[in-house]
A and B are shown apart, each in its own frame.
Chain A
Amino acid sequence: MTQMSENPPAGLVTDAEPVEMLLNMGPQHPSTHGVFRMVLWVDGEKIVDVVPHIGYLHRGSEKLCEGEQYHQIITLFDRMDYIANFNNEQVYCRAVEKLMGLDVSDRSEYVRVILCELNRIASHMLFIATMGLDAGAMTPSMFCFRGRERIQGLFESVSGARMMHNYFRIGGLKEDVPDDFVQQVREVLELVKQDTEESDKLLSFNEIFLARLKNVAVMSAEDAIDYGLTGPCLRASGVDYDVRKAAPYSVYDRFDFDVPIGLDGDCWDRYYLRVQEVYQSIRIIEQALDQLPEGEVVSSLGRRLIRPPAGEVYVRAENPRGEIGVYLISDGTDKPHRIKVRPPSFCNLSALRHMMKDAWIADSVVILGALDIVLGEVDR
């Protein structure tokens, strides 16, 4: 393998020795799942090296947070990981609540968990759909988007928006859920289960799909930990680590669910693990619906301006993509001094170079797809 350099290697025109070629993928490439640019150094059909270029979707969310009041920041968190909005809202609200020592009513915690898990299902369905598309399967994406649409319709009836909800509040929720919420969720869950099973049956063990994904970009457990992978990518490598189990937050300790673990750490494991997680999320929601208590959901703060005491706090949670962390420094005013987010997609992306080394060019798409990055969160 030749040394990679910024300029194309010398001797490009000679045909005496094999030369590396630079292949530019993105930023406007349909299979980069956003505006992401990969510069691939290829030797024939083999990838020698890859240089990821990020920042095309940089909006400076963390800096913007410093200029907004605490209740306005929720809208910014909605837009970071725009596939898992509720999960992002939840982790931010928990950070401020922890700083203020605020108690959240049981009912709001349960509603939050239900919505977050539904959002996890919606996010994983999008992943299954795009994973199928990356590998050349069109039909499962239709099934998955049908299911995702149902969940988003439910979100619309709860929060008023399909994606940018702004529904969680520091210390509670914006308003109580609709009267027929439990029934609606049960109906949607039943249909979503069918949709998942349908695409699972169609895609997961399909010979072509297996051939494309099996033994591609294998990560050992040690490597996965060294690269700081979290979430499904880490668990696919066989590491049993889920923040919901390792450090239970909210009311997750009251539910009985399994954490699926992969065996080989290849792309197919990363895919199939998410399919299994959908079923586990359905289990959590069903239990949460059974246990859903009555009570107040609106924050005890009322409409007072939120001024947390000076101090700093770090809160983490399990997003669909991995472990998200929010580090919040308050100086006692109505605006935070600093907010730092540990985004799962960004950290998972750091393993891209390791995964793509010596892979085929054709596999680069599924390798990136199996990481399931969201560029809104990578660039923030």
Chain B
Amino acid sequence: MFNSLKGLVVTLVSTMNGLRAPVTRQYPDTGNRLTGRVSEPTPVKDRFMGFPALTWDDEIGEPFCTSCMVCIRQCPTQCMSSVMKDNPLHEEEKSSRRKIVDTFEINLNRCILCGICVEVCNFDAIVMSHEHEMSTFTRNGDRVDLPALLEIGHKFQKDTDWVPPTKRVKTQKDEDSGPPDTAAAVEAESD
């Protein structure tokens, strides 16, 4: 009997605390028309892994992706496919990329958000975006193509002030004034 009463005290204290600070939030958050509060996107952490997306090289004006197929071969669920083409900007000598992505498709329904594709990419071309609310009504509605992937990627780049990871490493190395370490990259490619 005593312990049951003790339990009641616990819930009473918790209720008083709960009145002050709610720990839950409305989902989906549609805002409030009466108070005029607009809906806020669900907050995610910096490292949050949403759906993969392709990045855009603003300096040259083309995707980073050269369609080298590394991510496609390493994907545990085989959810991606891609086709490569000759880069027209390379012939005009505007870009150092000889090959560029022609088509790229990710079946986001198959994707398990493991992040392996991002890890193996040698060109900083793919990122785990913060996009995660992408349900559709059709079975293959989440098969996204290159323009859609670039759009998601561009939004991610803008939102997070994205700097290509290899560039980040390079600037760090330059600050250390050491010779750039290319051994690891060569090794990865030879495998």
Write the residues of chain A forming the contact surface with B, with a CB cutoff of 8 angstroms. 68-69, 71-72, 75-76, 139, 143, 146, 149, 153, 156-161, 164, 166, 174, 178, 198, 201-203, 205-208, 302-305
Write the residues of chain B forming the contact surface with A, with a CB cutoff of 8 angstroms. 1, 3-4, 6-7, 10-11, 14, 23, 44-49, 74, 76, 112-116, 119-120, 128, 184, 187-188, 191
Q: Which residues of B sit under 8 angstroms from A75, Cβ to Cβ? A: 76, 112, 114, 116
* Contact partner, A164, options B1, B113, B120, B128, Cβ 8 Å: B113
Of A164, A203, A302, A303, the most chain B CB neighbours within 10 A belong to A303
Asked if A304 and B188 sit within 8 Å, CB to CB, the answer is yes
Asked if B23 and A146 sit within 8 Å, CB to CB, the answer is yes
Asked if A207 and B1 sit within 8 Å, CB to CB, the answer is yes
Q: Which residues of B sit under 8 angstroms from A202, Cβ to Cβ? A: 6-7, 10-11
Q: Which residues of A sit under 8 angstroms from B112, Cβ to Cβ? A: 75, 164
Q: Which residues of A sit under 8 angstroms from B4, Cβ to Cβ? A: 206-208
Asked if B48 and A160 sit within 8 Å, CB to CB, the answer is yes
Q: A156-B47, A207-B1, A305-B191 are in contact. List 5 more A-B contacts (CB 8 A).
A: A68-B76, A139-B11, A156-B44, A157-B45, A164-B114
Asked if B3 and A303 sit within 8 Å, CB to CB, the answer is no
Q: Known A205-B3, A302-B187, A305-B191; judge A72-B47 contact (CB<8 A).
A: no
Q: Which residues of A sit under 8 angstroms from B120, Cβ to Cβ? A: 303
Asked if A156 and B48 sit within 8 Å, CB to CB, the answer is yes
Asked if A72 and B74 sit within 8 Å, CB to CB, the answer is yes
Chain B residue nearest to A158 (CB atoms) is B47
Asked if B76 and A160 sit within 8 Å, CB to CB, the answer is no
Asked if A304 and B187 sit within 8 Å, CB to CB, the answer is yes
Chain B residue nearest to A150 (CB atoms) is B23
Quote the shortest CB–CB distance from A305 to chain B (angstroms). Answer: 4
Q: Which residues of A sit under 8 angstroms from B115, Cβ to Cβ? A: 160, 166, 174
Quote the shortest CB–CB distance from A148 to chain B (angstroms). Answer: 12
Asked if A303 and B187 sit within 8 Å, CB to CB, the answer is yes
Asked if A160 and B7 sit within 8 Å, CB to CB, the answer is no
Q: Which residues of B sit under 8 angstroms from A159, Cβ to Cβ? A: 47
Quote the shortest CB–CB distance from B131 to chain A (angstroms). Answer: 13
* Complexed CA–CA distance, A161 and B46 (Å): 11
3 smallest CB-CB distances across A and B, nearest first, come from: A160-B49, A157-B45, A160-B47
Chain A residue nearest to B44 (CB atoms) is A156
Asked if B48 and A201 sit within 8 Å, CB to CB, the answer is no
* Complexed CA–CA distance, A205 and B3 (Å): 6
Q: Known A161-B49, A178-B47, A303-B187; judge A71-B116 contact (CB<8 A).
A: yes
8 A-B pairs in the complex with CB atoms less than 8 angstroms apart? A75-B76, A153-B45, A159-B47, A160-B48, A160-B115, A203-B7, A303-B187, A303-B188
* Complexed CA–CA distance, A178 and B45 (Å): 11
Q: Which residues of B sit under 8 angstroms from A143, Cβ to Cβ? A: 14
Chain B residue nearest to A137 (CB atoms) is B7
* Complexed CA–CA distance, A160 and B128 (Å): 9
Chain B residue nearest to A198 (CB atoms) is B10
Chain A residue nearest to B47 (CB atoms) is A160
Chain A residue nearest to B73 (CB atoms) is A69
* Contact partner, A304, options B6, B76, B191, Cβ 8 Å: B191
Q: Which residues of A sit under 8 angstroms from B45, Cβ to Cβ? A: 153, 156-157, 160
Q: Known A143-B14, A305-B191; judge A157-B7 contact (CB<8 A).
A: no
